[in-house]
Each structure stands twice: as C-alpha cells, then as structure tokens.
Structure 1
Amino acid sequence: MGFTQHLRARGEDGLAALLALRPDLASPPPSSIRALAARASGRTSVERALAPLDALTLQVLEAVLALAGTAGHPSGPTAAEVARATGADLDAVAAAARTLLDRSLLWSDPWPVPDDGRLRPSPGLEDVLGPYPAGLGPTLTATLRRRTPQALERLAVDTALPASTDDAAPATTADGEPALVGLLATHLAAPATVERLLDDAPPGARRVLEALTWGPPVGQAPQPGGPTSPVRTAVQWLLRHGLLAMSDTQHAVLPREIGLALRGDRTHASPAHAPEVVPAVPDPAVVAGDGARHAEEFVRLVAALVAMWGDQPASQVRTGGLGVRELRRLAVRLEVTDAVAALVVEVAEAAGLVGDDGAEQPSLVPTTEADTWLERPVGARWHALARAWLASDHATWLVGSRDEGGTTRGALDPELRRPWVPRLRTTTLGALESAGALDPEQVIEVLRWRTPRTPPAAHGVQAVLAEATALGVVGAGALTPPGRALLAGQDAGAALEAELPAAVGHVVLQGDLTGIVPGRPSPDLAALLELAAQVESRGAALTVRFTETSVRRALDTGVDAQDLLERIAAHAHGAVPQPLEYLIVDVARRHGLLRVGTASSYVRAEDPALLAGLLGDRALAGLHLFALAPTVIAAQAPAPQLAEALRERGLAPVLEGPDGQVLVLGQAPHRIRPRRGRRAADAPADDAAEARDRRLHRLAGDLLAGDRRRGEADDDIDPGDPAGPGLAIGLLREAAAEHRPVWLQLVGPDGSTSRRRVRPLRVDAGRVRVLDLDREAELTVAVHRIVDVTP
C-alpha cells in the first residue's frame, strides 16, 4: 500500500475527518484521491499541518522519519520502538502517533493501525523537516547506492560481511539494485559490527564519529593531495569501511544507522517535556470580580464612544483609520490611556458598531446596529465585543508605533492587519485554560512548548494578555468564567451576567454635592447620573458630583427643575440634601433668561441691561451682533452657534421657536448602515457545523466514487491519466519516500520527449533528483520539464 492507497483506505468517514483537521486540503475541492495525496504532501500543506503540534508530537514524528527506511526498520517503526528511541512514555507516544495519523502526517499499512502496526512518514515531510531528522544523516542504503559494484565488493571484504549461504540468491533485486546494498546495510547497522570495526580503527576515528553522533552529521572531508595527519587517516579509514560516506566532493556524512548505533539506538538524547510552570492560585471570587469589573467598564467605554461619535463623527486621515490627534482627543474624553482608547475603537469597529460613512471627507460614524446593541443587557453587549476582539485580525498593540517609512500607525489603520492575530489570541488564552494565574513569561514558555515551529513573539503575547485583561476575559492573571465560555464558543454573555453584582437603584447623596452608588447602578439610575452628574471615580463604588454644568446639561434636554428633583429623589437614599436643591433651583432660575432664535439668529431678554454689555463684547464680534430693540439683539450666525458662544461667556441661554416656545437642544445622532468589511464573523452555530460536516462527507464520498469510476481503486497512479505539475510532484515525493521506481516522461530543450525508468531520491526547490536505473546515473530534472509520472 502506498500513501494514495492509504487515503482510500481511510474511507468516507476517515477522509472527512482528515479534511476537517486540514481544511486547506478541501479548498478548492480536489478532483481525485491522487490530487488529494499530492496536495497533502505539498510543502505549504505540510507546514500548516505541523504548525499546531507540540514538542513531543514533533519529536515522535522526527523519530519515525529517522527510523523508517533504515536497515532495522525497513517498513517503519512501531509505537513501542519509537518510545524506546525517544525515551518517552509509551502512552504519550501512542497519543502523539494518533494525532499524527489523524492528520495523515503518518500512515500505516494496514489501516486502521493495529497496536503493533508499523508507522510510516507521509511524503513531503523531509522537504519541511530537512534531510537530517533528529540530527541523523542519510540511511546506509542511500549512501551505499552511490558506490560502484566493485566498491561494494571491497567494502564487503573490509567489513567482513558473512558469505551468503544461498547460492541461488540473485545478484540484483527486482529494481536492478545490487543485492549487496541491502546485505551491507543490515551488516553495518548492527551495533556489534560498528563496535568491532572501531576496535580496529586508527587513533582518532572514534573521536571523529563522536563529533558527528548528535548532529549535525556532516563534516569537512580532507581534500585529496593534502598533508598526512591522524584526522585525515582516520576519516579515510572510516570512509573505506562504510562508517562515513561522502555527501559531496568536500563533505563527509555519518550514515543514519551508524549514528543510531553510536547513540545507543536513541533518536533523541531525552524526551520533550512540558515546561514545569507553577501557576498562582488566586481566589476564584477575585478572578471573577476583577473580570466582571473590567468587562462592565469596557462596555461602558464603547457605549460612550458610540454616543460621542453619534453627536460628532470623528474624521479619518487620508490613508484610512483614526489620526493620532483624534485618538488622543478621544482618550482624554474617555479618561483612559491612548492604548485603551485604541482598543475601544478597534473592537467597536470589529463588532460593526462604528464604520466609515463613505463620504468625500470620510468620517467614523456609529452604525444602525449600535442602536440594537445599546438595547441589549450588559452581558450580551460584552459577548458581542469579546467575540469580535477574539476574531479580529488587527494587531491593536501596534497603534502608535512607526512603520518602515517612519509614519505613526493609527487606530483602524489597514496596515495593522495580521492574519495570524486571531490564532495568537486563541492560543494565548488556551495556555491559561488548564492552569491558574500565569505571568506573561510563563505563558510564553507554555506556548513555545505547544507550538515550537511557530513560537509567538513575546511582545505579542504580553499585548494580548493586556487586551484580555482590559476586556475582562482575564482577571487577576487567570481566565475568568466568561473568558472560558468565550473560548469554548458558549454563551459568554450569560456567564458574565452571573458574575455581575446585583444592580443598585439608589444613590447616597452628600451635602457637598457628591453622591455614592454602592455598587453597579441600575439602568435608570445610570441614565440619570449620565444626564445630571459627572463621574469623579469608579471602582467598587461609583462617586459622582453634581455641578452647575451638569445640571444645566440636564435642563438643556427639556427637563425642568421640578422633574429633575423628583427623579433624583426617587433614587436618593434618604432626602435630597438642601445644597443640591439650591443648586438645581439656582441654575433653573438663570436657565433660559436669554432666548436664542433665528434671524439668522437673535437674542432677547426681559432685562435690557442684560443685553447692553453683549454689543460691545469683542469676544462676540465674530457673531456680528446688532440691536433690534432694547430687549432684542440679532446675530449673523446660526442659533446653535450663538447659544454656544453665549454659554462660553458664562451665560445660560435656551433656544426658542417662532412661537416663543422653548426648543430642546440637541440633534438626532449620526448613524450609517453597517457595511461588510473587516467585521468579525459570528461563531459558527451548531447547524453550521453540521452543514460543514455534511459537506466534507459529501466531498469524501465523491472522491472515492470518482476513483472507482476511473478504475483507480487498485492503483496508486492511473497510467492513462497524465499527471499535472502539482500532481506529478506529489507522486514523485510518494515514490521517493517508498523507494519505488517510476516512469518519467521528460521534454528536452528542442521539444522532443523521452521516457526514463528512475527512482526518485529527493524533491525540492522546483527540482527532482533521480537515479536513472537503466543508465545507473543520477540526474537532476527541473519540474517544468516533467510531462508525466506513471508507475
């Protein structure tokens, strides 16, 4: 059975499971099992399959790749033999092997694999892991094949190869290979043979081999004609006795079986172990409380952003995104750092709550979905934000840094896109999933063990942990219950609601115009305080202060003094303090003494003296004020602009309509329709996962049925179907891994074609190195010259 036949043997369920583990194999759908095998052995696909493997699993894969094809394991090693070679626990090796078999990085004949089944590496692994797995050189068979028949006979004499007792044994194998190659490989691979030869070796020979034993297995070879020395004599003796081989004209290489014999049949000096990090064990209540506090605060910041940009959209820079000055202005208004402000903007955009309005001078404006989001409970709002953050591909922590051209990167800058960011966030949080509280250095150590081929950058891990803490996914250094639900694809909003403290509907008012909310304010109380007070501090309790400006802001919305006092009294814990009543009554008494209308606009008052000083005020000269009557002044400016200018002078005007009725200040918030773009996709629902499984099963069934229709079920390659370039490479890799000969149809420089019987040796970098079996010569062929590959 070859690799292609192995894929067929997996059946529909097995192929569907493979396509689910390696989705790149199904996109676009392959045309046949042969095409699937070629794609699965391609360098890019193998790299992707290796990326999520931990250090022990990679070590097991290296051990199988090193042992397979050696004289002692011509059909591949068993799991028990791999455990002995690596020194790892058999159960751990078996679990790692199962992972590799599921991904078809290993395969076995028969399939499914029995407990004592032989494990074989899949084609293409050597291209990715290199020609010297575990620091071991090429096999003895590969090195002996490069020797002439005469050299093989001399080697048999020098190494005291036992004479064959079978006189009828052929001199060559069915593939035309000298039978001595296999006999010598088995003979030299025996540790007793190696030790016996070294006992008779010249001084320095053992030291030369010890220098190459644990890799790299290649060393500089003495050049012909050089001066005689002990090292030169030792190397020449080792070459003559097959314990070393020439890899090229300048380098000698230690054959794989010789290296294993010198290592004591070990592929690795010691098994890979998970890092011994000792996590802190914080109080679960502290973790949950810290996370809930940050989560609620982040929801509040996003809501404040929506409100700000709804009133006054934020202008974008020419290259896209939010400018540095605009970001700093936002950070000041939100009372957070620039980094937190950037995170708020990025997450709000990823959740589809804000977006580009598409105008000639583009601005960032809330979308219509922001209104729906604002109506949801806190938990549901947070879940939408956290899910968008987890799936976002923007490296938010790069905001404020400079690119290659020296330009400062802003929030929402298109240059922040990094396709690997979602995986970094998922793997970083996954490191905390089974542990307690870990510091960033411990998380980095765990991730380097889990994904040694793609270790994350330290600054990226630190940034992800800081963002997760700001969002409430991580609390006190550990994963919070809502964070665990988010990572598991469950309802994280409900998990957060369970952790939030009960809402408090009252405020303790003080005589110094401050108020304390001992907990999380209810929606009604939060709306009242947002309207009529300003926040002084947040934490376990919320402290607010009532000021002239905050009270006037409430009156500007159309609420009169009596209504405001009644609303405050309804939420007050006890009576409303007299200083607060005086403040509200005093502001209300002066509120509306000036009335602004449209002339372009005008100002009128009952007291002429109140208006007399405005005409001569130089600060108001830009409004072009002029008197219409002792109690009326007109202005060449819109009414809202005139009212704002008067407020800046310490006055408290109100707007009125043509009928003299007071108009409520303000305008409808800006909104745009959400547009498709970088918005994070929703997590797949159960029915979507089932639909994906049905699609993969249907594709697997179609591939198997197509092979049966074409009559390919019994052959790895259909001789009547010319292979395309990609498929040809896959077939050549498979033949090289299994040491099988193929027919290679080539096109020459003049356009003529030729057909050669070859054994592929190595496939990489757009070239194929093969052994021409009829001419007994090696040649290197460019891939574009290959027309067809057949058995």
Structure 2
Amino acid sequence: MVSDERALALQLAGLDDARLGEVLTTRAVSAGVAWRDFFDAAEGLLEAGSVDRALTRLPRAALAALAALADGEDATIDAIPSSSQLLVGGALPTAVAARVRRTREARPAAFSAPEGAPPPPATAAQEASAAERAFTSTGALADLLLATEQSPLSSTATGSISASDRRRLLEAGIVEDAEALDDLATIARAAVLIDTAEREATVSDAGDRWLHLPTAERWEHAATGIVAALPVGLRDRTGGIRAAADHAGAYPLDEDWPPVAAQWGRVLRRWGLLDDDGAEPAWTRALRDSGAITADALRGHLPTEIDKVYLQADLSVIAPGPLLPDLELRLRGIAARESRAQASTYRFTAESLDAGLTDGETAEGIRAFLTGLSLTGIPQPLEYLLDSTARRHGAVRVRTDDARALTVVEVDDDDRREALSVDQALRPLGLVPEGKVLLTRAGRDTVSWALSDARYPVTMIGDDGRPTSPRRSRRPAPHDAAAPGRFDELIARLRAGHSTDSDEAWMQRELEQAVRARAAIRVSVRMPDGTDRELTLEASGLGGGRLRGLDRAADVERTLPLRSIVRVTPV
C-alpha cells in the first residue's frame, strides 16, 4: 500500500496541468480539497470511497479488465481510461484491487465483458427512413441556430434550456416537443455550434460557418461532433457504435446512466446514425471501417438543393425543394418562413422587409436578389410593398450619445414623435422629449428592439454613423487571457509542495504519519563509521531536524538526526 501511494504520487507529478485537471475532473475531486502535495493526492485517490466513485463511472469493458487484473489474469489495459488513474505503472494497486473484488461480489453481472456484436446493417427502406430523419433534423438544427442568433438560449442551473425559451421555440414550430429541443441542443454543443457563458448560449463562429454549408456538409460536421462526444461505453473496439441493445448497460454501476443512455440513443436516431430499429446505415458503418464518418453514402439519399423559387402575387414564396443554404439564409432575412419541408413556403411582410433593410439590405439589392431567384419574376404587389417599406425605413433612428451616456431617438415626423412619447408600450423606456428628439437612459439595442416590437420603422445607427442591426444575441467578449481553470489553485499547491527529492519527501511523510499515530517503525541509521544500524522505535516527535522515539528494546528515549536516517519501514 505504501509503495502504491508513492508510485501513484510520482505518476501524478509527471502529468502536465491539462492531464492532471482531467484526472481531477474524472475522479470528481473537489477543487477545495485540502491536499498539500502529490502524496496527499495519491492517498486520497486510493481511499475506498474515491475508488468506488471511479468504478461507478467506468464502462463495462473497463470493469471487466479491472476484474481480470484483480484476479492476476492478463487484460487489455487500454480499456481502462488513463484519466481514472486506477493503474500505477500499468499494474493494479492493492487498494484498487480490493475495491474491485468487493464490488464484484455485490454486483457480479456488472463486470462481465460487453457483447461484441455490431448493429445489424440497415435495409434499403431503413436507410431511406434514417436519411429522411437526418435531413429533417439538419434543417431543424439550422432553425434553432437562427433563432439563437436573434435571442440567446438561457439555461437553468442543471444545464437544461429554460421553460420560457422552450415555450418560445415550440410556439415557433422549430421543434415538435421539448425532448427534440434537448436533443438538438446536445448536438449543437457536441459540434461546438454554440458557446455557453453565464447560463446563456449564443451561436459560435463555427455555428455561423456551419449555417452556410450545404446540407450534406452540415450533417457531416455535426455527425463528427456527435461521435467525438459519444461516451466511450457506446463505442466498440473497432471504433463503431455499439448495438442499441447494449446502450442501457454500458455503465452498469452508474444509477444515473439509463436516462443519459436514452438521450444518446435518441440523438443517434434523430441524426440518422441509427435506424429506429437500431439498424446501422452505410454512412454509420463507414465509421467502423475507416474510423471517420462522412456524408458520402448519405448524399445520394438527400433531396437535391435548388436555386429557384416561385414568387406569388399574395406575397408568398414557394420553394419546390430545399434551397441552397446561402440563398435560404438571405431569403429568410427578408421574408418570414411559414412552413418547412422539402417544399417550403415563405411570406413577405412590411416587418420582414424592414428587418432586412435594418440588417444592411437595400431596396435595389433585394430587387436584384429576387430577380435572380424567382422563376416568375417579381409580382407587382411585392414591388409596391418593397418600395413603400424602403420609403418608411429610417423614419425612426436610434443612436447613442456617448458624451451624455444617453440613447437618442430621432424622428422626423412631429406626429410620429408625439405618438412615440405617449405610447404605453414604450413607457418602460422612459422617453423624454428634447427638441426634435427623444432621450432615454435605456441601451441602444434595448430601445431598438422595443420600437421594433411596437411595429415602428426603426433603424439603429452604429458607432461609425452607419445603419447597423440590433442583435438580441450577444456573444461573450473575448478575453486576453484564458479564464482561470477550476483546479488551477489546487494544482499549483500540489506542485509547490512536491519535492524534487522524492525519497527524502516520502521518508518525511512516513515519519510524520508515524508520529501522528505513535506507531512503531523500523529505522535504519547511518553511523559515523559508515555502517547502518537498525532500531525499532515508537515515534513520538518530529522537529528541528530530529526524530524522537522510544526504543523499547533498550527502554530508552532516542533522538536521531534526520540526515542520518536512510530508510524507514512500518512494523
């Protein structure tokens, strides 16, 4: 046991800070733990409670390997995550072996090796069904990101999306139920399409780029993220995804695992990586064959993306197939989408066109875009609506007066300015007339959105004096230095307490423990003539560079210089 602690301490000290932080996270160590050095850390990690918690988080294959090692048999130690630090130099410490045997006595089925059969190959019909689901889910994820661009997703303390955002997204028809929303959020996080800070999720730079990819590339990017984030217990030795029947038992000692397994199963089916019956499509089988997932086999099952639509006289737009992403993104910037399928519909309104103008579009640019997009030209009612909206746009302008730390609302029309000042919906802004403008202490973005929600033709003026777009979604400002890690202080303390002379540090620790326990120890002392003499002492004190203890054989109190002690062993 003593040698195990020492060896583990040296093993931990040899890890870099990133890997050491991973170990502390995997072993669920509190950042406030009172460890002074790596010997304390090794002792803590070898305690029965710490080992039991580590076993709980291990997949079935790792438990089976540990059980074999505990019995003195050969095992594939690669199955045991290095971040658990349950092995020392590739061997099983005595304390860990004891806990493995004890846990196996109570739960023998948990230590059986996992089944090796892969999922059955999907039939042509199953592949078509999985591909349709992949296409639908890819579109839904794009909708979720676009909604997050306008208003960030807030989350609860448990990490789930808040009830108000769930309701907003469900009412918008982006997802069919809360379960689907949770699954899409999991996919977005796995693919790093959203950033989360202070319980608020916003679209990441990678998410912005993802939105402009064709559907097949969107699917492949997110699928790669899903596979990378998949718990190791759901992957088999070939790197493929385990059969769905094995998912629930992948972490047999973890009581919290079943709902997690259920969600990952939904995610795999929702993204078309498995069929509803657990069958494996060709594009998922490629992961097992090549180690990487690609959309090559899926591409032929996806509908062809188009670059033309029908503009109708009733201001609606009919897309007879999925639009190319760049075209759809621009169209959705000036028209509200009404339905999504392989054939989607959109509708122009004064509000949608005004939003596009606020985002930097111009009437000429919109007209040129629609001319190239439409198979039926631009209907006259749409021409009228575009012209009238462009004339009204900018009638209300919002800018910041930095000198007075106020927001200024400029309105050319006296009647409209009077209407703004008495509008009950705008009372929370506290608008105060001053000459030809209205002033408020509310922020520029807040004022712009309040006016837009009240259906005023508002334009926000940026700091450079040009129109800009107010965004409800604000990404965290970049920091010059990385934020301090959770375990930075603890790791610094462990390193500061670590001696470069491990033999001397370990002996000092043994002596301190012996004195605290008033234990009997066998001490080898180097005599002046160069010979070693062994004494058995009951340790009683340590200080001033000396060890004090009772030599029961001679019934005398001895005081030994620490520099003369060459070895200490417990009796």
State if a TM-score over 0.5 links the two structures. yes
Q: What is the aligned counterpart of 2:371 among 550, 566, 569? A: 569
The answer to whether residue 355 in structure 2 is matched with residue 553 in structure 1 is: yes
Which residue is 1:52 aligned to? 114
Q: Could you tell me how far apart the structure 1 residues matched to 2:271 and 2:451 are? A: 41
| Native 8 Å contact 2:397 2:411 kept in 1 | yes
Q: 1:523 aligns with which of 290, 311, 325?
A: 325
Alpha-carbon distance between aligned partners in 2 of 1:648 and 1:372, rounded to the nearest angstrom: 29
Q: How do 1:677-716 residues align onto structure 2 when only pairs under 5 Å count?
A: none
1:347 to 182, 187, 206: 187
Can you list the C-alpha shifts for 1:154-204, whole angstroms capped at 9, x where unaligned?
Answer: xxxxxxxxxxxxxxxxxxxxxxxxxxxxxxxxxxxxxxxxxxxxxxxxxxx
Return the alpha-carbon distance in structure 1 between the equivalents of residues 220 and 382 of structure 2.
39
Answering whether residue 532 of structure 2 is matched by residue 470 of structure 1, we say: no
Contact 2:338 / 2:346 at 8 angstroms: preserved in 1? yes
Match of 1:422 among 234, 238, 259: 234
Q: 2:468 aligns with which of 642, 664, 667?
A: 664
**In structure 2, do the counterparts of structure 1 residues 308 and 622 end up closer, same or farther at CA, with 3 Å as the change threshold?**
same
Q: Is the 8 A contact 1:296 1:378 kept in 2?
A: yes
Secondary structure of 1:569's counterpart equals: helix
Equivalence for 2:408 = 602
What do the CA deviations read for 1:726-769 (whole angstroms, capped 9, x no partner)? xxxxxxxxxxxxxxxxxxxxxxxxxxxxxxxxxxxxxxxxxxxx
Distance, in Å, in 1 between the alignment partners of 2:280 and 2:121 is 12
Corresponding residue for 1:75? none
**Aligned equivalent of 2:427, options 621, 640, 652:** 621
Residue identity matched to 2:223:
A
The corresponding residue for 2:564 is none
Q: 1:47 to 1:20 in 2, by over 3 A?
A: farther
Query: Are residues 1:296 and 2:138 paired?
Result: no
Distance 1:495 1:675 in 2: 42
Instruction: Figure out how many residues of one structure are paired with residues of the other and give that number.
Output: 397
Equivalent position of 2:216 in the other structure:
379
What's the offset of the Cα at 1:521?
1.0
Structure 2 partner of 1:485: 286
Gap change, CA 1:511 and 1:320, over 3 Å in 2? closer
* TM-score, normalisation: structure 2: 0.56
Within 5 Å, give how 1:188-337 maps onto structure 2: 284=124, 286-318=125-157, 320-333=159-172, 335-336=174-175, 337=177
How big is the shift at 1:505?
0.6
C-alpha distance in structure 2 between counterparts of 1:596 and 1:314, whole Å: 26
Give the Cα separation in 2 of the matches to 1:429 and 1:310: 33
Secondary structure at the aligned position of 2:317 is classed as strand
- Read off the aligned partner of 1:529 and give its amino acid letter: L
Structure 1 residues 384 and 609 mapped into 2: Cα distance closer, same or farther (>3 Å)?
closer
Q: Is the 8 A contact 2:426 2:450 kept in 1?
A: yes
- Report the alpha carbon displacement of residue 570 of structure 1 after superposing the two structures with TM: 0.7
Look up the match of 2:24.
none
Q: How far, CA to CA, are the matches of 1:584 and 1:543 in structure 2?
A: 19
Specify the SS of the correspondent of 1:655. strand
Cα distance change on mapping 1:505 and 1:16 into 2, 3 Å = farther
1:340 alignment partner AA? A
Change (3 A) 1:487 1:301: farther
Residue 414 of structure 2 aligns to which amino acid in structure 1? P
Distance 2:422 2:77 in 1: 81
Deviation at 1:504, TM superposition (A): 0.4
Distance in 2, Cα, partners of 1:21 & 1:633? 68
Query: Contact 1:532–1:553 at 8 Å: present in 2 too?
Result: yes
- Which residue identity is paired with 1:467? V
Runs of 5+ unmatched residues, structure 2: 1-72, 486-569
Residue 611, structure 1, aligned to residue 450, structure 2: no
Matches of 1:581 and 1:469, distance apart in 2: 45
Aligned positions of 1:507-546 closer than 5 A:
507-546=309-348
For 2:484 and 2:424, locate their aligned partners in 1 and report how far apart those are by CA, in whole Å.
51
Q: Distance in 2 between matches of 1:472 and 1:581?
A: 42
| 1:490-524 alpha-carbon deviations (Å, 9 max, x no partner) | 33233333433332011122222222222221133
Could you tell me whether the CA contact under 8 Å between 1:355 and 1:675 is conserved in 2? no
**585-594 or 489-498: bigger deviation:** 489-498
Larger radius of gyration: 1
1:173-188 correspondence to structure 2 within 5 Å: none
- With CA pairs under 8 Å and 6+ residues apart, which has the higher RCO, 1 or 2? 1
Amino acid of the residue matched to residue 267 of structure 2? E
Q: Is the 8 A contact 1:615 1:627 kept in 2?
A: yes
Matches within 5 A, 1:629-640: 629=435, 631-640=436-445
Q: Give yes or no for contact 1:19–1:26 (8 Å, CA) kept in 2.
A: no
Q: Name the CA distance, whole Å, in 2 between partners of 1:459 and 1:602.
A: 52
Letter in 1 for 2:226: W
Match of 2:87 among 24, 28, 49: 28
Name the CA shift for 1:16/1:574 in 2 (closer, same or farther; >3 Å): farther
CA contact (8 A) 2:122 2:281 kept: no
Q: CA deviation at 1:391?
A: 5.1
Counterpart among 382, 385, 390 of residue 588 in structure 1: 390
In the other structure, the counterpart of 2:68 is none
Identify if the C-alpha distance between structure 1 residues 565 and 372 changes in structure 2 by more than 3 Å, giving closer, same or farther: closer
Question: 2:283 touches 2:297 (CA, 8 Å); kept in 1?
Answer: yes
Identity of aligned residues (%): 26
Instruction: Give the whole-Å Cα distance in 2 for the aligned partners of 1:299 and 1:613.
Output: 44
| Post-superposition offset of 1:578 | 1.8
- In 2, Cα distance between the equivalents of 1:627 and 1:23? 67
Structure 1 gap segments, 5+ residues each: 1-14, 55-273, 394-418, 432-442, 678-786
Distance (whole Å) between structure 1 residues aligned to residue 463 and residue 261 of structure 2: 62
Taking structure 1 as reference, are residues 633 and 499 closer, same or farther at Cα in structure 2, changes over 3 Å only?
same
CA contact (8 A) 2:398 2:461 kept: yes
Instruction: Please give the TM-score of this superposition, normalised by the length of structure 1.
Output: 0.42
Bigger CA drift: 495-504 or 568-577?
Answer: 495-504
8 A contact 1:509–1:516 mirrored in 2? yes
Against the structure 1 CA distance between its residues 366 and 676, is the aligned structure 2 distance closer, same or farther, given a 3 Å change threshold? farther
Paired amino acid for 2:222: L
Gap change, CA 1:374 and 1:318, over 3 Å in 2 = same
One-letter code aligned to 2:174: E
CA distance in 1, matches of 2:90, 2:443: 69
Q: Could you tell me whether the CA contact under 8 Å between 2:234 and 2:242 is conserved in 1?
A: no
- The 8 Å contact of residues 368 and 672 in structure 1, kept in 2 or not, is answered as no
Q: Structure 2 CA distance, aligned partners of 1:505 and 1:362?
A: 39
Q: Deviations over 1:280-314 (max 9, x none)?
A: 986x2x54444334323433443444444455443
CA RMSD of aligned residues (A): 4.9
Q: 1:595 to 1:296 in 2, by over 3 A?
A: same
Q: Deviations over 1:118-155 (max 9, x none)?
A: xxxxxxxxxxxxxxxxxxxxxxxxxxxxxxxxxxxxxx
Q: Name the CA distance, whole Å, in 1 between partners of 2:477 and 2:234.
A: 27
CA distance in 2, matches of 1:421, 1:518: 43
Cα distance in 1 between the residues matched to 2:484 and 2:287: 24
Deviations 1:565-616 (A, max 9, x none): 1101111112122222222222222222223334523344443233233333
